[in-house]
Amino acid sequence: MAEEQMKMRTGFVFAIIVAVIFSLSACDNDDDDSTSSDQANDDADDDDTLDDDTVDDDAPTQYIIYEDALEDKIRGSWIGQMAGVAWGAPTEFQYTDRIIPENEVPQWQPDRINNGYVQDDVYVEIPFIDVMTNDGVNASWVLFGEAFKDTHFLLAHANLVARVNLRNGIPAPDSGHYENNKHCDDIDWQIEADFVGTLCPGLVNQAVELSWRAGHVMNYGDGVLGGVFMAAMHAASFFAEDIMDIVEAGRKALPEGSQYRMVVEDVIARHALGDSWEEIWFLLQDAWGGADRCPGWEHDFDPAYNIAAKLNGAYVLLGLLYGEGDLEKSMKIAMRCGQDSDCNPSSVGGILGNWMGLSRIPEKFQSGLVNDRSFMFTDYTLNDAISINLELTKQVMLMAGASSETSEGQVLWTIPSGEDIEAPILEQWPWEANAQPVLSAQAADQDDMTVSFEAEAMDADGILAYEWYFGDLSRAKGEQVEHTYRAAGSYEVIVYVSDGIGNTSWRAIPITVP
């Protein structure tokens, strides 16, 4: 299977090589006309070729935003999600092997947005928000799983299998593991991770941590990375100068060697060469259209059906790149790519709504909204969700070292920045039977707020990397690590190890910081 995919991707590889050559040539000829800013990264440029993943020395050291503006962006994200899913709903999986013709795109009516209240893209986010409200934004994946187990809303694919697993006594993250959930590469967490990014303004690494932890309730590998990709772009969109800033944050949040990152870099490279989105769609169809591992019954009557996170994620990316920041145009392109053609414009709408804020969203996408209606299977109205989202966002910012003050009668937040985006450890669903790494780990020493950890693993495929999740939204890679906590409390530390092909194991270590 791996050899077949490499063969399918030959056309893409040439494009990437050419794009990199063009990028290097441009770097030799460009003058540096950037200026510094505490509000956003003014070093953004219009070159959409692939950057390396090194530290940006010109990145701002902090972001500054009024709380009213923060809420406007969060509200814009929720409205954008609802608009995208409601607009695309009549087309969902009706076009699995062809682009939706322009004249078959549903006509938007302002009251259509209220269909977003009955869509799983949105209401499945609510139990995760509930857990964080009760147990904090650093709640464990076991708590996420317990809340998910007790839901009664309509589910399918990885979500449904995960809930069955949880009810049968298989806890998270095993509920989403490929051995127990053959839908683990599906789109489920990708369409539900929007709220994670809205909790993390400018804090891409924290968005990655949260998305990794919650996403393993129902997914694994590229299925989890779909949520990481979306959450990272959401987090970046709060202060992004342009669309490429947003896209680059998503790309850098994906581990090298993952199929998901391959697809993303393929699309970016072809875009840099000037291909149309339709031309890229056909290349994606040839390379990845038949690579869906979902065992769903849908394949029995439609072999072209594809609910894989990475292909549908590529359609989201096409909407962002070719929509040029225009909300309607971007959502329409993502929809016209077909397959999960309501979820994909929903992801686009959420990210751009986050970037624009409600105040810049066209009136046609908000004028028909009924604000006091509850999301299906929940007691949450839209205003409830936004209000709680804002409070949880404050938690995340404070845990990341942010501070607030009152300025001219308004609350002003200062958020630390300047960190390089760190992708999570490589995790991939093996194509054939493969033993997981054997892993042992412990807290080796503790000196007040500082704790040192060590792990050891063995695997026939070799050991690629170790990664530690410290339970306070921070993480680090290495066989031996040391971490200093900001606050006293009890934490669940998770260590992951990845073998040479991306198969992973994990261990949990509870610690108490005095």
pLDDT on residue 8? 44
For residue 330, give the nearest of 360, 354, 352, 314 by alpha carbon. Answer: 352
User: 3-state class of 348 per DSSP?
Assistant: helix
Element (H, E) at 458: strand 450-458
What backbone phi and psi angles, to 5 degrees, belong to 315?
A: -70, -35
DSSP H helices, 30-140, are: 67-88, 120-123, 126-135
User: 3-state class of 217 per DSSP?
Assistant: coil
CATH superfamily label, 62-397: ADP-ribosylation/Crystallin J1 (1.10.4080.10)
DSSP H helices, 124-203, are: 126-135, 141-149, 157-167, 188-192, 194-198
For residue 150, what are its two tokens? 């007790």
pLDDT digits (tens, 9 = 90+) for 240-279: 999 999 999 999 999 999 999 999 999 999 999 999 999 9
173 preceded by a cis bond (ω within 30 of 0): yes
* Residues 52, 205: Cα–Cα separation, whole Å: 17
For 276, other C-beta atoms within 10 Å of its C-beta total 12
Element (H, E) at 252: helix 243-252
For residue 135, what are its two tokens? 């147990």
For 53, other C-beta atoms within 10 Å of its C-beta total 14
For residue 202, what are its two tokens? 């400018």
pLDDT on residue 10? 46
* Residues 484, 64: Cα–Cα separation, whole Å: 26
DSSP-derived secondary structure for 33-53: -----SSS-TT--S--SPPPS
The order of strands in the sheet holding 480-484 is 438-447, 450-458, 480-484
What backbone phi and psi angles, to 5 degrees, belong to 447?
A: -130, 95
- CB of 141 within 8 A of CB of 476? no
Query: Which CATH number is 438-513 given?
Result: 2.60.40.10
* Residues 401, 185: Cα–Cα separation, whole Å: 34
pLDDT on residue 122? 94
pLDDT on residue 158? 97
pLDDT on residue 27? 40
pLDDT on residue 56? 55
Quick one: how far is CA 332 from the chain centroid?
Answer: 21
Longest dimension (CA), the chain: 67
187 secondary structure, DSSP code? S
Instruction: Quote helix, strand, coil % in the chain, to nearest 5.
Output: 45, 15, 40
DSSP H helices, 193-242, are: 194-198, 204-215, 222-237
* Residues 482, 396: Cα–Cα separation, whole Å: 22
For 383, other C-beta atoms within 10 Å of its C-beta total 12
For residue 506, what are its two tokens? 């994990």
pLDDT on residue 61? 87
pLDDT on residue 196? 97
- Domain boundaries defined on the chain: 62-397, 438-513
- CB of 336 within 8 A of CB of 99? yes
If you compute the radius of gyration of the chain from its CA atoms, what whole number of angstroms results?
A: 22
pLDDT on residue 3? 46
pLDDT on residue 299? 84
Helix and strand numbers (H, E) in the chain are 19, 10
Q: In a structure prediction context, what are the per-residue pLDDT tens digits for the chain, which is 514 residues long?
A: 444 454 445 445 544 444 444 443 444 434 333 323 344 333 333 444 455 564 455 667 899 999 999 999 999 999 999 999 999 999 999 999 999 999 999 999 999 999 999 999 899 999 999 999 999 999 999 999 999 999 999 999 999 999 999 999 999 999 999 999 999 999 999 999 999 999 999 999 999 999 999 999 999 999 999 999 999 999 999 999 999 999 999 999 999 999 999 999 999 999 999 999 999 999 999 999 988 999 988 888 899 999 999 999 999 999 999 999 999 999 999 999 999 999 999 999 999 999 999 999 999 999 999 989 999 999 999 999 999 999 999 999 999 999 999 988 999 999 998 789 999 999 999 999 999 999 999 999 999 999 999 999 999 999 999 999 999 999 999 999 999 999 999 999 999 999 999 999 999 999 999 9
